[in-house]
Amino acid sequence: MNIVCANCFTTNRIPDDKDYNKGKCGKCQQGVYSPKPTELTANTFYPFIERNDLPVIVDFWASWCGPCQNMAPVYSKVAQSSPSLLFTKVNTEQVQQISADANIRSLPTLVFFHQGEEVDRISGGLNEMQMKQWVVQCLQKIAN
């Protein structure tokens, strides 16, 4: 399995018989997996989305967006309880080109990627139950 280090963004190959949650990056020696959402930039967005074998959920947000601020703790909580997924954040004010490329029209918007391809997206503030239901629906789509 390939997993991109959440710290230095180097792609690491984790043997199938090893637990990626405990894997260390060959470059920076930090844990490759982070249960916290990883902040992506213009330089790290595409490598992270395209090189990870695990599904990646991206939260497109902005500091001025009230629903984004309200949803942030929920997003972090769901990330902590979902070890088979990678959670990331993109600040649309700082990474405007990525937001434009992703056709983000409202905030917050969550986009579920698998192997570099968009599987689904949902816009608007979600509570914990709604977010978990959406994640389950996305996982069902990639299981088929």
Q: Strand 86-91 to strand 56-61: parallel, antiparallel, or no bridges (unpaired)?
A: parallel
Active-site residue 65, yes or no?
yes
Q: How far apart are the first and last CA of the chain?
A: 20
| Residue environment code for 70-106, b if the CB has 16+ CB neighbours within 10 A, otherwise e | ebbebbeebbeebeebbbbbbbbeebeebbeebebee
Q: Which of 5, 8, 25, 65 is catalytic?
A: 65
Active-site residue 68, yes or no?
yes
Catalytic sites, residue numbers: 65, 68
